[in-house]
Structure 1
Amino acid sequence: MTDQAAVSPVEESSGGYSQYVVLTLFVVYTFNFIDRQIVAVMQEPIKAFFDLSDLQLGLLTGPAFAFLYATLGIPIAFLADRWNRVSIISISLAIWSGFTALFGLVNSYLMLFLMRVGVGIGEAGCSPPAHSLISDYVTPRKRGSALSVYSLGIPIGSVLGILMTAIVYRWVADYYSVNGAPDWLAAIGAGDAWRVPFLIVGIPGVILAIIVKLTVKEPPRGRFDGVKPGERRGATLNEVVKALASKPSFWFVAFAAAIASLVGYGLFPWLLSYFVRISLAAGVAPQDALADAAIPYSFVIGGGGFIGTLLGGYLTDRFSARRLSAYVVIPGLALLLALPIYFVSLLIPPNALAFLLLGIASALGSMWYGPVWAVAQNLVKPAMRAMAPAVLLLIINIIGLGFGPPAVGALSDFLASTYGDGALRIAILAIAAMIIPSAALFLLAGRSIDKDWEAAK
């Protein structure tokens, strides 16, 4: 089964249509992060409803999603290097949207865990084929910027997920407090308001899946890289690993990004919980505590992430014309600048200055997104451009998403008996300090990236 039947309509290199494809995939990735992050946003109400520990919350937001999400990326990428990538993305989008809605219907921790696994299965089919598609719609020197636009789905999806979830939760909780839960919802779990955001985000994702399938065309593979038709077969995993094994810069970048991801995935849900718990301790109602923290936090994290993601792609594309090491040196330096700002923001009271500093740190900590994926695309031949980022995603998500959230939760539980309410802040600071080895690995990658990039041509 190949994608050759779908290839022929897309021989044009229309800038306008290419931009449409990149923007459409950005919207898909935005939905990816809305559905992915909604659990992190709602973890305090879920914790209260199911009487969970911080470690259980961390396992739910991390490993339950991460392990199949990461490991399935390899076989899905294998398929994406051979079959229609648009179809894979559309099917995956419909699957993860459905499981997100089902998450709001369950009534036990085990079922929460299993529905979260289902979301991870669906989302595994998003990025590897999307990265490969984008690389066949833009030229090599513009891939950093194009993949940064795609990566904007992370901050934009996070903002929309935080805002929508918190606002809907507050509105529903206030409504239930006056009118009670509707019979259909009360029957599945006392009508708790935390369920409603999960139930209303699935349908738009299914609709978007249909739009993607009908409007995005499958391009010829490697059309900007001089690939002949006979060379368009996909590479095997062994071939990809063998090609990457000879490129030290890829492995430095992979583990640098994995540790940076561990910091990001460790901070995102727990920083919000940190602010919510401060409000709860002051006697604020749960729905108001979540909304009061989520609204400024969403713009801080989303705005900072938006600026940092675009800036990372722009700067690396601009300076790489002189030195390819810009693709790794700029992210490394940005992470080093972010670390002290994170520390200051958490060591002062949670006020406007703290949120501003978090926004700056978020921008600096997001500058690696686009450059890392550009490196993964440009260090391999076109036939490997779905499989290579899948290998990278496996490393990033097993380490980052798999261990980041539960590490903070476990450390918070461990320190709680000694530090009480301050345990979570100490756990967050400990994870933030992991920026140091991440930045060091990015900088080390700069020593060999020029040679490795040339070898891939």
Structure 2
Amino acid sequence: MAPCERGGGYAERILIEPCSTDARTMHVKVARAWYVVGILTLIYAISFVDRFILALLAEPVGRELQLGDGQMGILLGAGFAIVYALAGLPAAQLIDQRERRKIVTLGVSLWSAGTVISAFADGFAMLATCRASVALGEAVLTPAAISLIADLFPAHKRALPMSVYASMSGLMTIGSFVIGGATLGIATSLEAQIGLSPWRGTLLIVGFPGLLLALLFFLTVREPLRSGGPATIEDTAFSAFLRYLSAKWRFYLPFYLGSALLVMYAYANLAWLPTLLVRAHGADPATAGYLIGLTLPAAMFGIFFFPWLSTRLDRAGEGTGIVKAFLIASIAGAPFLILAPLAGTTTTLLLGVSGGMICLATTGSLGPLAMQAFGPSRMRARLMALSLLCTSMLGFAIGPTAVGLLSTQWQGDPMSLGRGLSVLGMVAGPGAILCFALALRGTRQMLTANNAIG
């Protein structure tokens, strides 16, 4: 039987060699494709544990290594985000040119080894180096996963596997603290046997699964054949990309900035909330992880609610539903961002954080949808990379660092981190509202111009 010619994707070349309508053959093809999605999703999930585990351990790490809040803020924010952001575009270029299976394996191994080695850190410099290796390794995963999934499924069947993969962003942003809290409890019980303080044991435990998954991925996943025709020079030229951004800046500039402001607060909140619970509300680090996990349903609700809302808003056919949903989320969320960190009781704090999480979840769900809806097909990857660059540099890098520095204005006050988060919320909330209002106006102008050309 002759080999399949259509599509040239993974399903045709690797999963099933001959053309066949046999149900069993098709089942094997789909099963193997979903296996790759499953293992990528699992790797994505553990990447969040490695990324956020230091936030849960900030108090004992800072105490043992004699690090101030400013130094911890750098480790939780800029020390990770700058490397992650700057590595993203070169990593994406490499992923487009080389074998993705090997690049993913190398990336997962690098960040997992960095987490394991950080268990033996003796000061700020060594811990910063380990955090940089975690950032460098994690920078390859999502670009590679998006590329692989696109070649595993035809275009009309990619939505579900991409949704499964992307859902880990909302689930594990909070779920990582639950897993981290449980792991810290295990490490505490094993302190006498392994001879390491609980925070060091925790880093060892959470780092090793990534090394095993990297090996499993390398041994069981085969590189799919890339689909799609070759791009023209005009499509891929960076000068054409810059001309496009220049022509559409009234939408992209405020949209990117608004997204970055929300991410800035979201990461600052996640980075410092465990320590705030410990200092101001009397929780131990393990309990803080479980308490943060209680806000997970709110985040998951936001991830699915606002895309649904955007489609409802678009029923009139205007095409601005995504930006309107962002604007509504910013208006609804601003009071929570400002007031929740100042709550006097743990219950009130968690309720306020949950309200904020519903609105902050828009960045993970609506952001990629906006790039798909408004960006030309040959520029969507670069538009998404630029979005990640902005949110990483402005959001992840500045947010935790700013709160750590702001908290020094209230030295000795158990609520110092809460006050710092509140001040940041006074910037992020109203700033995002203004940005998305401007982006909405820019969207209407862009769509009007596109319709006129059409």
The TM-score range, normalised by the shorter chain, is: 0.7 to 0.9
Q: What is the DSSP-based 3-state SS (H/G/I as helix, E as strand, rest coil) of the residue aligned with 2:121? A: coil
Matches of 2:231 and 2:126 in 1, distance apart? Answer: 47
* Structure 1 contact 81–383 (Cα < 8 Å) conserved: no
| 1:411-450 matched pairs, under 5 angstroms | 411-416=406-411, 420-433=413-426, 434-449=428-443
Deviations along 1:95-135, whole A, 9 cap, x unmatched?
21221111112212110011001111111112233344556
CA shift in 2, pair 1:161/1:121, >3 Å: same
Q: Supply the distance in 2 between the matched residues of 1:381 and 1:18 (Cα, whole angstroms).
A: 27
Give 1:278's aligned residue: 280
On the 8 A contact 1:345/1:357 being kept in 2, the answer is yes
1:64 and 1:422 mapped to 2: Cα distance?
Answer: 25
Q: 2:346 aligns with which of 344, 351, 359?
A: 351
Partner of 1:307: 301
Q: In the TM superposition, what is the alpha-carbon distance from 1:75 to its structure 2 partner?
A: 1.0
Match of residue 285 from structure 1: none
Cα deviation for residue 336 of structure 1 reads 1.6
Aligned to 2:137: 122
1:340 aligns with 335
1:295 aligned partner = 290
For 1:174-189, what aligned pairs fall within 5 Å after superposition?
174-176=189-191, 180=192, 182=194, 186=195
Task: Return the letter of the residue paired with 1:398.
Answer: M
1:407-457 CA distances to partner (integer Å, 9 max, x unpaired)?
Answer: 00000012326xx22322211101122121113212322233366575999
In structure 1, what is the equivalent of residue 69 of structure 2?
A: 54
1:397 aligns with 2:392: yes
Task: Give the paired residue count.
Answer: 426
Q: Cα 1:401–1:172, aligned 2, differ >3 Å: closer, same or farther?
A: same
1:298 to partner: Cα distance? 1.7
Determine helix, strand or coil for the equivalent of 2:441: coil
- Give the whole-Å Cα distance in 2 for the aligned partners of 1:8 and 1:171: 44
- Residues 202-234 of structure 1, C-alpha deviations (whole Å, 9 max, x = no match): 332233334545347636445xxxxx4465998
- After TM superposition, the structure 1 = structure 2 runs for residues 109-188 of structure 1, keeping only pairs within 5 Å, are 109-134=124-149, 137=153, 139=155, 149-176=164-191, 180=192, 182=194, 186=195
Supply the distance in 2 between the matched residues of 1:202 and 1:215 (Cα, whole angstroms).
22
User: 1:120, 1:59 → 2: CA distance?
Assistant: 13
Question: What is the aligned partner in structure 2 of residue 264 from structure 1?
Answer: 266
AA paired with 1:298?
G
1:378 positional shift: 4.0
SS in 2 for 1:168: helix
What is the alpha-carbon distance in structure 1 between the residues aligned to residue 93 and residue 341 of structure 2? 43
SS of structure 1 residue aligned to 2:294: helix
How far has the Cα of 1:79 moved from its partner? 2.4
Query: Is contact 2:281-2:345 (8 Å) kept?
Result: no
- Cα-to-partner distance string for 1:53-85 (whole Å, 9 max, x where unaligned): 111110011111111110111111222333444
CA 1:295–1:432 in 2, change beyond 3 Å: closer, same or farther? same
Secondary structure of 2:396 counterpart? helix
Question: Partners in 2 of 1:238 and 1:86 — Cα distance?
Answer: 31
- Please give the residue correspondences for 1:24-103 in structure 2 after superposition, counting only pairs within 5 Å: 24-103=39-118
Tell whether the 8 Å contact from 2:259 to 2:391 is kept in structure 1 after alignment.
yes
The residue type equivalent to 1:316 in the other structure is S
Per the alignment, residue 193 of structure 1 pairs with 198
Give the distance between the partners of 1:337 and 1:447, measured in 2 at CA: 20
Which deviates more from structure 2 when the two are superposed, residues 431-440 or residues 74-83?
A: 74-83
State the Cα distance separating 1:308 from its structure 2 match: 1.2
Give the Cα–Cα distance (whole angstroms) in 2 for the partners of residues 319 and 220 of structure 1. 36
Q: Structure 2 regions of 5+ residues with no counterpart?
A: 1-6, 14-25
Look up the match of 2:22: none
* 8 A Cα contact 1:78 1:236, kept in partner: no
The 8 Å contact of residues 327 and 375 in structure 1, kept in 2 or not, is answered as yes
* 1:45 partner amino acid: P
The residue number in structure 2 matching 1:245 is 246
Match of 1:218 in 2: 224
Q: Which TM-score applies when normalising by structure 2? A: 0.83
Q: Which amino acid aligns with 2:224?
A: E
Deviation at 1:238, TM superposition (A): 4.2
RMSD: 3.3
Query: Could you tell me which residue of structure 2 aligns to residue 235 of structure 1?
Result: 236
- CA distance in 2 between counterparts of 1:341 and 1:362 reads 9
Whole-Å Cα distance in 1 between the matches of residues 373 and 94 of structure 2? 20
Amino acid paired to 1:97:
S
Equivalence for 1:225: none
Shift of 1:361: 1.9
Deviation of 1:38 after TM superposition, in Å, equals 0.6
- Shift in Å, 1:36: 0.5
Hey, what's the Cα distance between the residues in 1 that align with 2:330 and 2:37?
A: 27
Query: Per chain length, whose mean CA-contact separation is higher, i.e. which structure has more relative contact order (CA < 8 Å, sep 6+)?
Result: 1
C-alpha separation between the residues in 1 aligned to 2:436 and 2:245?
17
Q: Which letter does structure 2 place at the counterpart of 1:442?
A: F
Report the CA distance shift for 1:326/1:24 in structure 2 as closer, same or farther (over 3 A): farther
Q: After TM superposition, give the deviation of residue 247 of structure 1 in Å.
A: 2.0
Q: Which residue type is aligned with residue 276 of structure 1?
A: V
With 325-334 and 26-35 compared, the bigger mean Cα shift is at 26-35
In the TM superposition, 1:194-209 aligns within 5 A as 194-209=199-214
| 1:238-282 Cα shifts (integer Å, max 9, x gaps) | 4433333322222222111111111111111212211111245xx
Give the letter aligned to residue 385 of structure 2: A
CA–CA separation in structure 1 for the residues paired with 2:123 and 2:110: 22
In terms of mean alpha carbon deviation, does 165-174 or 130-139 score higher? 130-139
Q: Aligned letter for 2:277?
A: F
Pick which of 192-201 and 89-98 moved more: 89-98
Q: Distance in 2 between matches of 1:414 and 1:164?
A: 33
Distance 1:216 1:241 in 2: 36
Deviates more, 1:321-330 or 1:375-384: 375-384
Whole-Å Cα distance in 1 between the matches of residues 246 and 391 of structure 2?
A: 17
Q: Which residue identity lines up with residue 350 of structure 2 in the other structure? A: F
Q: 1:140, 1:446 → 2: CA distance? A: 29
Question: Contact conserved, 1:327 with 1:371, CA < 8 A, in 2?
Answer: yes
Report SS of the residue matched to 1:151. helix
- The amino acid across from 1:429 in the alignment is S
Q: Is the 8 A contact 1:94 1:209 kept in 2?
A: yes
Retained in 2: the 8 A contact 1:237–1:387? no
